[in-house]
Structure 1
């Protein structure tokens, strides 16, 4: 397991590993944007009832909790905070899998696709 970068205030309880922070920085540099944050949200849907949304966002919505991880802002909307408290966003780059992963201790179960949980 990769060590999680810590921030002074964990307003939303979501962690971002060093590998994930490096990948986000690389993607933002590739886009030539420094005004975007990584947003993680929980929405109804998927085969298990809830689905993760992970995307870049320039907006700051009312009630957002935002934590900076070494120059990478991670935003969580107020409705998603309880579902994501203690979750960690990581980035895997192996021969079997490449992409962001979310380890969420609040998920009681997930589906085979790994994108939804309950």
Structure 2
């Protein structure tokens, strides 16, 4: 499955989750769990809360980052639920891509009235 196909599934699942849960207003953890479940129902491997090690000058730091979802080992999903979207969310997703040497991330903000308006694609090395 290509990165674009994974991306399409993530978008479709995010729309389904947002619609089924009644739109914005819930915690990020609720949307994350529902999105992971929906992705798995469609046959994708969705792993939640993946630890991403960070090193500084060759030394592994004690506090790893936590990635919301990793889909099929290739697609990063950063789940948000806010009315005040901040471009720093995309920078965070790009950091995950760099650390994991991956190419595609989606920041999905379930805080939007229409979730399709809250989906931001982030790429690294394309």
Decide which structure has greater helix share: 2
* TM-score, normalised with respect to structure 2: 0.24
TM-score (norm 1): 0.25
* Larger strand share, 1 or 2: 1
